[in-house]
Amino acid sequence: AISRFFEMGLSIPEVAVISGHKDARMLFRYTHLRAEDLVKKIN
């Protein structure tokens, strides 16, 4: 779910508030971006 928020374009502070993570390291630990979505962004 965390990854989907980033894919929707939410910022780090916005996702942190929604998820309740106070530490960016923990937030990123649960972020798993899909390779195909990243490829679409750079093409």
Mention every residue, 6+ apart, whose C-beta is less than 8 A from residue 37: 7
**Dist. CA 34–CA 20, nearest whole Å:** 22
Count of beta carbons in the 10 Å neighbourhood of residue 15: 21
Half-sphere exposure of 3 (CA within 13 A, CB side): 9
Q: What is the pLDDT of residue 5?
A: 93
Q: What is the pLDDT of residue 35?
A: 85
pLDDT tens column, 11-43: 999 999 999 999 889 888 888 888 888 788 888
Say yes or no to pLDDT of 7 above 90. Answer: no
Domain spans in the chain, listed from the N-terminal domain onward: 2-42
Q: What is the pLDDT of residue 36?
A: 86
Mention every residue, 6+ apart, whose C-beta is less than 8 A from residue 29: none
